[in-house]
Amino acid sequence: MLLLLLVTILLVIGLLALTVLVGLTVTSLVTLVTAPGQLMRLLQNRQLRRNHALEHATINVIEERLGPTRLAGLARQDGFLIFGPIAPALVLEAAQEGLERLQRGERQLAIHPRCGTTLVASQLVLALAFLTTLLLLRQVSFLPFLVGLAAALLLGPRISPLLQRWVTTDSQVNGLAIQGLQPQLVPLRLPWRDFLVPLPGALLVRTGPSEEASLGGSVTVLTPDARSYQIGRYQID
């Protein structure tokens, strides 16, 4: 009875593992078709790639100060978002420092291991290794799935920095300036009125041409302790 139970558990675990592995492979095959076009569009959008580089630089500067964090980011045309429990003043300071260091030539700040590019790179490697092994064996077996997974785990994180440097980011940020910081607002629709409310844990760092930043101004962000910070021409209240 115990042996039967053990065999059943192993079979269930094996089926679950196979299902996950097949699912990863199918997803990677889809990525193999869609990713080239997405990467090409990103390659043609320099502003988005520069904001992506500054997003990475900001998180890298924060993690130099605090150690590893669970912060995440998302580049946009008008700047980038930082997600996670972090003080707005620190984000703005790190963004300004990251921008200045990128402008001084510290290109490595534009690379981050947790970038979504790593997932895309791993999926591309998995799909290519799976198809190559399948063509060599000329039969469907468990081996192509395992080869694809092993290749993805081994090569994906190593290819990602290359893709980030040459395709998904642009560390040449001369002429770029930080224009402000604010909570990310999302629409809230009620029957009688529409509102814009802050998204918890999400900060938008707005960027633009440096000539626009030279006009001056201030940025107001509400913080839990109501302290006031002055960072360059920006004030966080």
- Tens digit of each residue's pLDDT, the chain (237 residues): 666 667 677 677 767 776 877 888 888 989 989 999 989 999 999 999 999 999 999 999 999 999 999 999 999 999 999 999 999 999 999 999 999 999 999 999 999 999 999 999 999 999 999 999 999 988 888 899 999 999 999 999 999 999 999 999 999 999 999 999 999 877 777 777 776 777 788 999 999 998 755 444 444 444 433 333 444 444 443
Output the pLDDT for position 4: 65
Distance (Å, whole) CA 186 – CA 196: 5
Output the pLDDT for position 85: 92
Single out the residue of 55, 47, 49, 103 nearest to residue 78, CA to CA: 47
Q: Under a CB-based contact definition with an 8 Å cutoff, are residues 50 and 173 in contact?
A: yes
Q: Under a CB-based contact definition with an 8 Å cutoff, are residues 177 and 207 in contact?
A: yes
Residues 6+ apart with CB under 8 A from 218: 233, 234, 235
Q: Under a CB-based contact definition with an 8 Å cutoff, are residues 130 and 24 in contact?
A: no
Output the pLDDT for position 19: 82
- Tell me how long the chain is: 237
Output the pLDDT for position 10: 66
Q: Under a CB-based contact definition with an 8 Å cutoff, are residues 171 and 55 in contact?
A: no
Output the pLDDT for position 21: 78
Which of left, alpha, beta for 20 (phi over 0: left; psi -120 to 50: alpha)?
alpha
Backbone angles phi, psi at 192, to 5 degrees: -105, -10
pTM for this model (two decimals): 0.82
Q: Under a CB-based contact definition with an 8 Å cutoff, are residues 154 and 65 in contact?
A: no
Q: Measure the CA angle with vertex 90, ends 85 and 95; round to 5°.
A: 110
Distance (Å, whole) CA 170 – CA 52: 8
Which pair of structure tokens corresponds to residue 128?
A: 């290519």
